[in-house]
A and B are shown apart, each in its own frame.
Chain A
Amino acid sequence: MEKLDRVKIGIIGCGRIADLNILGYLDHPKCDLIAVCDLSEDLARQRMKEWGARKYYTDFEKLVSDPEINAVEILLPHRLHLPAVLSAAKAKKHISLQKPMCVDLWEGRKMIEAAKEAGVWFRVTENFIFYPPYRLQKQFLDSGEIGEPLSVNIRLCGAAGGWWVPLKTWLWRLDLQECGGTPSVYDDGYHKLSIAKFLLGEIDTVKTWIDFTFGSVDTPALVSWKYKSGQVGVWEVTTAPNLLTNGKYYGADEWVEVTGTKGVLTANRCTSRLMEIPPLVLYKDGKHLAIDDLRDDWGDSFHDAGWHFIDSLLEGKQPLLTGEDGLYLMKFWKAIWKSHSENREIRMDDLGEDDR
Chain B
Amino acid sequence: MPRFLQKAIPNLIFAGFRWWLLINSNRSLAFQFKLAQRVAFAITGDRFLKNVIGELAEIFEQEGKEAETARNLFRQADREYSAAIVRSFLQED
Residue pairs across A and B with CB atoms within 8 Å: the count is 58
Does residue A175 face the partner (Cβ distance < 8 Å to B)?
yes
CB of A213 within 8 A of CB of B81, answer: yes
Alpha-carbon distance A241/B84, docked complex (angstroms): 5
Does residue B91 face the partner (Cβ distance < 8 Å to A)?
yes
Residues of A within 8 A of B70 (CB): 167, 171
Q: How far is the CB of A125 from chain B (nearest CB, A)?
A: 23
CB of B76 within 8 A of CB of A167, answer: no
- The SS class assigned to the A binding surface is loop
Residues of A within 8 A of B91 (CB): 160-162, 164
Q: B76 is contacted by which of A160, A175, A215, A242 (Cβ under 8 Å)? A: A215
Q: B65 is contacted by which of A161, A164, A175, A214 (Cβ under 8 Å)? A: A175
Residues of A within 8 A of B80 (CB): 242
Alpha-carbon distance A198/B19, docked complex (angstroms): 48
Residues of B within 8 A of A175 (CB): 65, 69
CB of A178 within 8 A of CB of B65, answer: yes
Chain A residues in the interface with B (C-beta under 8 A) = 160-164, 166-168, 171-172, 174-175, 178, 213-216, 241-242, 251
> Which residue on chain A has the smallest CB distance to residue B87?
A160
- The SS class assigned to the B binding surface is helix
CB of A216 within 8 A of CB of B84, answer: no
Q: How far is the CB of B92 from chain A (nearest CB, A)?
A: 6
CB of A214 within 8 A of CB of B84, answer: no
CB of A168 within 8 A of CB of B58, answer: yes
> Which residue on chain A has the smallest CB distance to residue B65?
A175
CB of A164 within 8 A of CB of B87, answer: no
Alpha-carbon distance A251/B70, docked complex (angstroms): 20
Alpha-carbon distance A323/B58, docked complex (angstroms): 36
Does residue B88 face the partner (Cβ distance < 8 Å to A)?
yes
Alpha-carbon distance A174/B70, docked complex (angstroms): 9
* 10 other A-B residue contacts (CB within 8 Å) besides A161-B91, A215-B72: A160-B84, A164-B92, A167-B55, A168-B66, A171-B65, A175-B69, A213-B81, A241-B81, A241-B84, A251-B88
